[in-house]
Structure 1
Amino acid sequence: MENEWTASRRIYWGLVFFVGDFFFSMFFYDETLYFKTGVTLIMALFALIVALKADRNERYLDNSGEKFNKRVFICYIALWGFLSIFIILNIIAVSQTKYVFISALMSLASSIFEESIGRGLFLSGFIKFFDYRDSAYVLTKATIFSTLLYSGIYLLNIIFVAPQIIFQQAICLILIGIILGVFRIRTNSLWVPIVIHFILSWGSLGLIVDQSLLNWLLLALLYLPLALFSLFYLRRLDQRNTAVPR
């Protein structure tokens, strides 16, 4: 059965959910953290339902055996190993505070919401668009465009937060979006990037916001190389013409 969800329809609904969440944040800025997190979680679940419906019966990758060469694969695993140690230490730090429950709930809500829009509606929409245009490097371009779109509209939050923090978070969203885009495409599932995003998000809450230098080092030394490896892998997949959206 052919999927009736067009590229424009997917991107449109992604924008609707994001703008809805933005205006909610604007009008309920002074509400309690529990209230705002609870509403975000409800919106995230609605976005997830729409994203799953949009991607029903579709696969964006065949059973290709494309892999990194041995040295590249070792470097990739090593980077994930260092990142995992860092995240585990931060999760331990968060778990020892009185905010362990609300921090987990916040991370869960944001992970479901961002992945449903970014790797669900936006990514699948751009894959469908570039495939329709019979474009080269469909997976690579769709991943880049979807992350840039989400990060670009995320800059609207500059109304609520200091510009330097929003800019840093936008860069982080671009890099993580590329990294998780590979997992979304390779597994043909939203659940894997949601779980990984949840772990990364919860671990990042252990950081002190004022430690901007530490955050930039994390982006430069771990997230940036992982994003570059991910783009390299997507390019290899595109060269083998493995994108098969229907």
Structure 2
Amino acid sequence: MVKKRWTWPQQLFGALVMVLLLFALDIFLRPLGLTTRSIVRAGYAILVAGIIYHALNTLKVRRQKFKQTSFIVTMMIIVSVTLILLFFIMGIPYQISQVFGSPTIISDTLMALSAAIFEEFICRGLLFSVFEELCKNAKLQMTLSAIFSAVAFGLLHFVNLIGGQGIEATLQQATYAFCLGVLFAAVRVATNTLTWVVLIHFLIDWQSGISVSPASSSSPWVGIVVIFGTVLAVATLYLIAMDLNLNRHPLSKRRWQ
């Protein structure tokens, strides 16, 4: 791990404060126009990203490269293929094409970007770091850190109930957000940065009308369980492989400190 400027209690408290401030900001911005709201929200997300970068001292999970095994390389390829297939299953290319014909393209883009930056720096940044420290003596340190931070990511989506989103739709959103959270953590570990995770998150959220009505409708549970259950299994297997590799090569692990 990389030495952090903030201790894990400071990181946890900071994450809580920044999330609460976002909720307060959203309430304050509600009477304003779409473009103004999206610009202010994007500015806040960038500010939060800067604070978190300072707190963590880096965007990296590790300073040094570690020994790759054929199984880890294979799992990285499987994770990549899973992510590409997920993009097409979710209709992301079509969704993005619709944005360019939207009258709210500027506010939609800024809103999606602010959500991606804020949520990734909070969940895969601060909270992942917090759980890494809390799980530092566990054999599956990164796997547990990914799962716990993904749980927090899923729970964050229950705030959409306040905006009038239905209970079933919110439960489904929290469920696939948890699965995606583990996948995003796997991508962060594999790429050793938050940059790619923010980009992927942005592309998933970038859709026409998201700044007008971010609420989701419910879908059949079978499809959600099958698709995102597979995503969760693939990402978890990759993270477990990484942890087992670190356990077998303690010298590599010490070079991270």
Q: CA deviation at 1:107?
A: 0.9
Does 1:194 pair with 2:198? yes
Q: Would the aligned equivalents of 2:3 and 2:56 in 1 still touch at CA under 8 Å?
A: no
Q: Would the aligned equivalents of 1:79 and 1:222 in 2 still touch at CA under 8 Å?
A: no
Does 1:147 pair with 2:147? no
Q: CA RMSD in A?
A: 3.0
Q: Would the aligned equivalents of 2:8 and 2:130 in 1 still touch at CA under 8 Å?
A: yes
Q: Which moved further from structure 2: 88-97 or 64-73?
A: 64-73
Alignment CA distance shift 1:201-1:218 (3 Å): farther
Tell me the distance in 1 between the aligned counterparts of 2:209 and 2:224. 15
Mapping of 1:97-246 within 5 angstroms?
Answer: 97-131=102-136, 134-162=137-165, 163-203=167-207, 212-213=218-219, 219-241=224-246, 246=257
Q: CA deviation at 1:230?
A: 0.5
Q: CA deviation at 1:30?
A: 3.0
Runs of 5+ consecutive residues of structure 2 not aligned to the other structure: 248-252
Q: CA deviation at 1:140?
A: 0.7
Deviations 1:79-107 (A, max 9, x none): 33332332111111222222222211111
Alignment CA distance shift 1:226-1:88 (3 Å): same
Q: Would the aligned equivalents of 1:14 and 1:122 in 2 still touch at CA under 8 Å?
A: yes
Q: Which moved further from structure 2: 199-208 or 76-85?
A: 199-208
Match of 1:31 in 2: 32
Q: Which moved further from structure 2: 64-73 or 50-59?
A: 64-73
Tell me the distance in 2 between the aligned counterparts of 1:128 and 1:77. 28
Secondary structure of 1:144's aligned partner: helix
Alignment CA distance shift 1:68-1:98 (3 Å): farther
Alignment CA distance shift 1:146-1:60 (3 Å): same
Q: Which letter maps to 1:229?
A: V
Alignment CA distance shift 1:66-1:118 (3 Å): farther
Match of 1:4 in 2: 5
Query: How many residue pairs get matched?
Result: 243
Tell me the distance in 2 between the aligned counterparts of 1:205 and 1:80. 24
Match of 1:47 in 2: 48
Q: Which letter maps to 1:84?
A: F
**Percent identity between the aligned chains?**
22
Q: Which letter maps to 2:204?
A: L
Q: CA deviation at 1:196?
A: 1.0
Tell me the distance in 2 between the aligned counterparts of 1:204 and 1:174. 24
Q: Would the aligned equivalents of 2:72 and 2:238 in 1 still touch at CA under 8 Å?
A: no
Q: Which moved further from structure 2: 202-211 or 52-61?
A: 202-211
Q: Would the aligned equivalents of 1:87 and 1:204 in 2 still touch at CA under 8 Å?
A: no
> What's the TM-score once normalised by structure 2's chain length?
0.81
Q: Which letter maps to 1:21?
A: L
Deviations 1:165-206 (A, max 9, x none): 332222232111111101112222111101111111115868
Q: Which moved further from structure 2: 60-69 or 194-203?
A: 60-69
> What's the TM-score once normalised by structure 1's chain length?
0.84
Q: CA deviation at 1:63?
A: 2.2
Q: Which moved further from structure 2: 197-206 or 231-240?
A: 197-206
Q: Which moved further from structure 2: 9-18 or 154-163?
A: 154-163
Q: CA deviation at 1:121?
A: 0.7
